Amino acid sequence: YDCKHKNCMIPSVLQTYTAALRDPMFYRMCKIITGFFLRYKCNLPAYTRSELDFAGVIVEDVKVEKMMTYMDKCEYSINNALTVDSMKEGMKWNLKAKKMCLMSKPFTYKMLVKSDKNTKSMVRIFLGPAMNMCKNNDYMCLYKYWYDFVMLDKFTVELTPGMNTITRLSTDCMHCSKNLHTGASMMTKLNKALEGTEPFTMKDKYTGFPTNLYLPRGRVGGMAFKLFVVLTPIDESHFHVIDMPMFGKMVMDGKPLGFPLDRPMMPWFMDLKNMYMKDVNIYHVNDNAEMMMMMRGMDQKMMTHDVKGFMEPMGIKRGVVEDKWMLHDYMTKNKYIA
């Protein structure tokens, strides 16, 4: 409490994000609070086999492109960190700060699903840890660490009789926000609307999980994870699609958040054909300035269609690669970089 400003409360240590994120007590409190919820979930009746099964649908295979993370510079506006006498004076300043942020390369899921009928299905994709004790035992992994699995995506598909190929881009996740809208960009839109040069619209999605944090940071040699895919039937009486300007599109099928891993998963349900577990690795690009310069240089050359001028001095023949990520794979394979 500040005696000079009776209506202004000074935040505590746990309310100051920069301090709380480095405080072990903050994480202990979070664990205790989430522990209450997990205890409640564990006391609920486990899902029955009929609730998890999807008769006539078999997930034959799941393929995922190479998952990669890297560090890149992000720019933030820090105008609110300044202490000024008036708003008019504050409008004269435009301070920005740069920091290294975790980024992820977009990738594609490809699922082969066999169905014996025309039906509508909800696809859920989860990512969880691959512990040493359950590296080759998918049953034990879900039974012991069901609460550590995070839902990456959820979407609907129309299945037809026979083999169905489902392709999904990681950037199409409805829970993620692709564009970061700052207060400065919102003020610019308002000023243009007031001037009459541009109508003020709210078409973009302003809320959601950051797209750059879609994947956890991997390792140079690859970090092992478990990818869990499950297809469930859709009950039309509980199915709703809501599209709101600020919150984006939301699809609800009457199931709780995180279904079916919102409750303990029994190992004898892992033989269901509508579920599929796959071992995946997440790779991380070295965080050195030389690598980032090469990636940015490749971006500029690709924009100017001068890929040849970038690759030939390094001894890479034209036509071997098509974009910067294929270039990175080629350079790693041929030991240009670690």
pLDDT of 97 strictly over 50? yes
Q: What is the CATH number of domain 48-70+105-303?
A: 2.60.40.1520
Distance (Å, whole) CA 248 – CA 251: 10
- What pLDDT is stored for residue 17 in this prediction? 83
**Which DSSP string do the residues of 272-331 spell out, in sequence order?**
-TTEEEEEEEEEE----HHHHHHHHHHHHHHHTT-HHHHHGGGTPPTTS-SSHHHHHHHH
Question: Quick check: 250 and 241 in contact, CB under 8 A?
Answer: yes
| Most confident range, picked from 19-23, 77-81, 289-293, 332-336 | 19-23
Contacts of 188 (CB under 8 A, 6+ apart): none
Distance (Å, whole) CA 214 – CA 141: 22
Of the listed ranges 29-38, 192-201, 310-319, the one predicted with least confidence: 310-319
Which tokens go with 215? 């994947």
Contacts of 295 (CB under 8 A, 6+ apart): 70, 285, 324, 328
Q: Which residue has the higher pLDDT, 216 or 297?
A: 216
Mean pLDDT over the full length of the chain: 81
pTM of this structure: 0.76
Contacts of 52 (CB under 8 A, 6+ apart): 230, 232, 260, 269, 272, 274, 275
What would the pLDDT profile of 55-80 be if each residue is shown by its tens digit? Answer: 999 999 999 999 999 999 888 888 87
Which tokens go with 89? 């004076």
Q: Which residue has the higher pLDDT, 62 or 270?
A: 62
Confidence of residue 225 (pLDDT cuts 50, 70, 90): very high
pLDDT of 99 strictly over 90? no
Identify whether 106 is preceded by a cis peptide bond (ω within 30 of 0).
no
Which tokens go with 140? 């034990």
pLDDT of 9 strictly over 60? yes
pLDDT of 315 strictly over 70? no
- What pLDDT is stored for residue 309 in this prediction? 47
Question: Quick check: 211 and 178 in contact, CB under 8 A?
Answer: yes
pLDDT of 254 strictly over 60? yes
| Most confident range, picked from 126-135, 154-163, 205-214 | 154-163
